[in-house]
Amino acid sequence: MIYLGSGALDTEKPFALTDNAFARANLAGSSPTAAGCEVSNIIGPQTFDYWQPASPAYNIFGVLPAPETFDTICVAAHNLSTHGGDLYFTTSPDLASAYTSVFTLSAATLAANGPDAIAYLFAPRTVQRFYFYSPGAVAIAPQIGVAMLGLRTVFPGWVQPPYVQAPDAETLDLKTASTLGGHYIDGSVRRKALAQDVQFSPLARSFVDGDLRAFGKHYNSGKPFFWGGSALNMPQDVGYVWRSGGELRPALMDGGKYASVKMGVAGYDA
């Protein structure tokens, strides 16, 4: 689910979050339950390992070498829907100023979201320190597989058919059911994932020759990112995804003023 904070910009258009300040920050968090469950696991890119603190009331602190500007935080591969505590995110613009709230997501809101990815878009703010925590005295320790904080890339074009939203993009690779004498025996899922084809309306060359180049290098190398088709119009459409298929190759059109861009993505499915 995508949640919108007051003052969030460009909320109608598609976006990708490729940057991750968690990876650049001096990161500390509540003690893990065991070796292999450290807070550094949230940096990713893999989803199979988790940070799992010993205490259900948890916190993550991050301090960056210098202030940066961010407008998006995303989380995937988590159990926050069953954890039972509220989630808070606050930031400070430097090493001395007080923390101010970015958002609070209630336990009820997280429960309604289920295990799906979470994205919160907020007004751009300068950040050097951040604090991600849940103070609730609840019974279940959280698990967080991937968290990303950064400045998203906004695509100045709309997604086009046959685009489908993340909840409808689930793919199930089935082991064919076997039969004996016409009786049903069994069937099993061998692989579950997200798969989407993304075709944009024509994109201006200023974007294609600028921000899309940086995104294309990230995409073409197969690195994961968070993707949303339109935070305002498709709030359920957010996923932790990576390249599927060929390279990102903008095809020029209209005398070189615009370009046709399409990409395929596969992603994590809870």
The pLDDT tens digits for 100-139 are 999 999 999 999 999 999 999 999 999 999 999 998 767 7
Q: Do 81 and 167 belong to one domain?
A: no
Domain CATH for 107: 2.60.120.260
Q: What is the pLDDT of residue 175?
A: 63
Task: Indicate the average pLDDT of the chain.
Answer: 92
The pLDDT tens digits for 131-141 are 999 987 677 88
* pTM score above 0.85: yes
What DSSP letter does each residue of the chain carry, written as one string?
A: -EEE-TT--S-SS-EEE---HHHHSEEEESPBSSTT--GGGGG-S-SS--B-BSSSSEEEEEEEEEEEEEEEEEEEEE-HHHH-S-EEEEEESSSSSPPEEEEEE-HHHHHHHTTS-EEEEEEEEEEEEEEEEE----SSPP-EEEEEEE-PEEPSS-EETT---GGG-EEEEEEEEEEETTEEEEEEEEEEEEEEEEEESPEEHHHHTTHHHHHHHHHHTT--EEEES-TTT-TT-EEEEEE-SS---PEEEGGGTEEE-EEEEEE---
Average pLDDT over residues 168-176: 70
- Residue 13 is assigned to a structural domain of this protein: no
Q: Do 64 and 87 belong to one domain?
A: yes
The pLDDT tens digits for 62-88 are 999 999 999 999 999 999 998 888 999
Q: Do 59 and 120 belong to one domain?
A: yes
Structural domain range at position 41: 20-150
Q: What is the pLDDT of residue 229?
A: 97
Q: Do 129 and 228 belong to one domain?
A: no
Q: What is the pLDDT of residue 190?
A: 47
